[in-house]
Structure 1
Amino acid sequence: MEKKLKLYGFNNLTKSLSFNIYDVCYAKSAVEQQEYIAYIDEEYNSERLTGILTSLTDMIGAQVLSISKQDYDPEGASVTILIAEKAINSLRMRGDAVVAHLDKSHVTVHTYPEYHPDTFIATFRVDIDVATCGEITPLSTLDFLIDSFDSDIITMDYRVRGFTRDVNGEKLFMDHEINSIQDYIANSTLEKYEKVDINVKEANLFHTKMLLKELELKNYLFNKKEEELSIDKRNEIKDSLRKEMLDIYYGQNIK
């Protein structure tokens, strides 16, 4: 049998963060759409994604137990990291000192490049899931994740599941204060986005989605300069980009 890892107990709360970003781009032909997908696929290959996730793991004070990574054909990549607590930490809950742990936890990332065949809009989606046990919350990594990608639209879900007990045996269903995911994102970042919150605090469920306010066309053109386009064409592209972003933001095809 393989050598078993010794785990430490007593905080059994599971904290799950799902973080999704969308990066939108305009490529003026079918060939350039394919070139954009190839560029994104190389830019965010499994090797780079592994680096992002291992940095995240260090930020939450965990150690890497194993890494599984894969680049797919024709495009896309996945990375899964099994993590555990580096050391025993002290956690205070309701005045009582207990031991916390971060065992049986993981971090995963998946990428999904795709494009619209008619409007020449390409979309790159990244899904990241972080699950931790014990006192550490993955919410502390949100600014790092947002800065690691070009994020036009962001959706985030945070949930705390299960329960743990204090030293007197009383059940605890939450061990930290939270009203909104936005509380864990820098104000300088929040100012750049339109935001919507849907929170069910009684069920420890928190949802936030964000849409970039300003659309600077030069940041969305692939292999094309804004000066090469007529005013009408610029406005047409901006409208197509904004519609794509609004569809994703609201989760429906807007007419």
Structure 2
Amino acid sequence: MPDSPEKRVTLHGFNNLTKTLSFNMYDICYTKTVEEREAYIAYVDEQYNSERLTQILNAVADIIGAHVLNTAKQDYVPQGASVTFLVSEGPVVEAPTDDAAPGPLPGNVVLQLDKSHITVHTYPEYHPTEGFRTFRADIDVSTCGEISPLKALHYLIHSFEADIMTIDYRVRGFTRDVSGRKLFIDHDISSIQNYIPPEIVSAYDMIDVNVYQEHIFHTKCKLRRFDLNNYLFSYTKDKLGKDEQENIAKRLQKEMDEIFYGQNME
């Protein structure tokens, strides 16, 4: 919980702590034909082009209270996009609180910030023979000072329909109080899950790997409920025979487990 105003630590100069949130998501699909594969890749490439990604990053900047100084964006051939923002703490007058609660959900591109940045890169790809199609997006929100990138986590989760998420948060460097004593972290945190809405936590299997003494926090998430219809592009499972449904479902779940655990399963 945030300190009350009378207990807030008075710093000597600027808060030099660097807080970095890395949000990595995967959307997985199964397609039977080359035409379906190309249609899926075209769909996600359009759905998450640089313009849409820029809108997402602008919302992130608003949520964490950052001022965008510069934006760079690029769509790639044959697919993929990048956006980068350079941002600053100003013109925020009062920094957001650091309470362990999900950030707001409003109704990317590289943004450049003063001493801080927000970036997103997308990576559509497909298996050469198995019919699996994967869309991956990597978002990094790195801030200096009192603004917290964790405030944007709620919004990011809702901006991407993710089957699997890997989330990393780290606090680096130090700042000083007025007596010169070093502060290596300026807020309490026990898990990234503290910043994820309860309805999302209940929908995913989650694994934490935290190194508390180094202020490193890592959470992996995989959807608990498997519905084959959510992984078929342009048709539903009733178009398939029962044996084919079971075969595709088994292969898809193996693919998801391999991504979630970060290893091939023979």
Would you call these one fold, judging by a TM-score over 0.5? yes
Tell me, in whole angstroms, the C-alpha distance in 2 between the residues paired with 1:116 and 1:239: 16
Higher strand residue share? 1
Percent identity reads 57
SS in 1 for 2:118: strand
Q: Offset at 1:88?
A: 4.1
Q: In the alignment, which residue of structure 1 is the partner of 2:4?
A: none
Match among 190, 193, 197 for residue 186 of structure 1: 197
Match among 42, 52, 55 for residue 38 of structure 1: 42
Is the 1:110–1:128 Cα contact (8 Å) retained in structure 2?
yes
Match among 13, 16, 21 for residue 12 of structure 1: 16
Tell me, in whole angstroms, the C-alpha distance in 2 between the residues paired with 1:80 and 1:103: 13
SS in 2 for 1:80: strand
- 1:23 counterpart = 2:27: yes
SS in 2 for 1:89: coil
How high is the TM-score relative to the length of structure 2? 0.87
5 Å-filtered alignment, 1:122-141, equals: 122-141=133-152
Closer/same/farther in 2, CA of residues 90 and 238 from structure 1, 3 Å limit: closer
Is the 2:64–2:151 Cα contact (8 Å) retained in structure 1?
yes
Tell me, in whole angstroms, the C-alpha distance in 2 between the residues paired with 1:251 and 1:91: 35
Runs of 4+ residues over 6 Å off in structure 1? none
One-letter amino acid of the counterpart of residue 259, structure 2: I
Tell me, in whole angstroms, the C-alpha distance in 1 between the residues paired with 2:137 and 2:60: 15
Q: In the alignment, which residue of structure 1 is the partner of 2:64?
A: 60
Aligned CA-pair RMSD: 1.4
Q: In the alignment, which residue of structure 2 is the partner of 1:219?
A: 230
TM-superposition CA deviations, 1:57-108 (whole Å, max 9, x none)? 000011111110000000000000111122343699xxxxxxxxx8410000
Tell me, in whole angstroms, the C-alpha distance in 2 between the residues paired with 1:40 and 1:110: 13
Query: Number of residues paired by the alignment?
Result: 238
SS in 1 for 2:120: strand
5 Å-filtered alignment, 1:1-255, equals: 9-85=13-89, 86-89=91-94, 103-255=114-266
Is the 2:173–2:184 Cα contact (8 Å) retained in structure 1?
yes
SS in 1 for 2:233: coil
Closer/same/farther in 2, CA of residues 244 and 167 from structure 1, 3 Å limit: same
Tell me, in whole angstroms, the C-alpha distance in 1 between the residues paired with 2:132 and 2:230: 13
Tell me, in whole angstroms, the C-alpha distance in 2 between the residues paired with 1:229 and 1:90: 54
Q: Offset at 1:10?
A: 1.1
Is the 2:69–2:114 Cα contact (8 Å) retained in structure 1?
no
One-letter amino acid of the counterpart of residue 224, structure 2: K
SS in 1 for 2:209: strand
Tell me, in whole angstroms, the C-alpha distance in 2 between the residues paired with 1:171 and 1:89: 23
TM-superposition CA deviations, 1:99-133 (whole Å, max 9, x none)? xxx84100000000001122101000000000001
One-letter amino acid of the counterpart of residue 58, structure 2: T
SS in 2 for 1:178: coil
Tell me, in whole angstroms, the C-alpha distance in 1 between the residues paired with 2:86 and 2:142: 10
Structure 2 unaligned runs (5+)? 1-12, 98-112
Is the 1:103–1:132 Cα contact (8 Å) retained in structure 2?
no
